[in-house]
Amino acid sequence: QVQLVESGGGLVQAGGSLRLSCAASGRTASTYVMGWFRQAPGKEREFVAAITWGGRIYYADSVKGRFTISRDNAKKTVYLQMDSLKPEDTAVYYCAAKFSETAVVVGSTYDYWGQGTQVTVSS
C-alpha cells in the first residue's frame, strides 16, 4: 500500500501563487507516475498535471504556462507550483500515483490517491 499526503493548500487572491506538495510513503516503487487532479463544487474531477518517474511532464491546457509540476524521486515527493491563480482554479486538489505510464491524464487509471487539499482563489 502507498499513502499520499497533500499539503500547501489555502486561500489566496487572484494573481497570487501557491505551492502544493505530495509526499508518498509505504511500499512505493521507483517507476511511479505521480499526478495532480482537482475537483470543483458541482464539477467532475479533472486532470491538472502529471510527471513520470523519468521526468516526462503533462499539463492540462487550462494550467499550462501557469502551473509547474516537479518531482523529487529520492524524497518520494511531487510538487505543484501554481502561479497567476484564477478564481476558476478553486477546487480540492488531489495527488495520485500509479505504476503504468499509460493514460496519465485519466484519473480512473491511478492506483493511489491522497486526501485532497483545498485551494481557494478569491477575486
pLDDT mean over 55-61: 96
Q: Give Rg (Cα) of the chain.
A: 13
Residue at 116: amino acid letter = G
CA distance 109 to 99: 10
Task: Give 26-42 pLDDT, tens digit per residue.
Answer: 876 666 899 999 999 99
pLDDT mean over 39-67: 95
Task: Give 79-96 pLDDT, tens digit per residue.
Answer: 999 999 999 999 999 999
Residues whose CB is less than 8 angstroms from the CB of residue 120 and which lie 6 or more positions away in sequence, other chains included = 10, 11, 12, 90
Q: What angle do CA 43, 100, 112 make, to 5 degrees?
A: 50
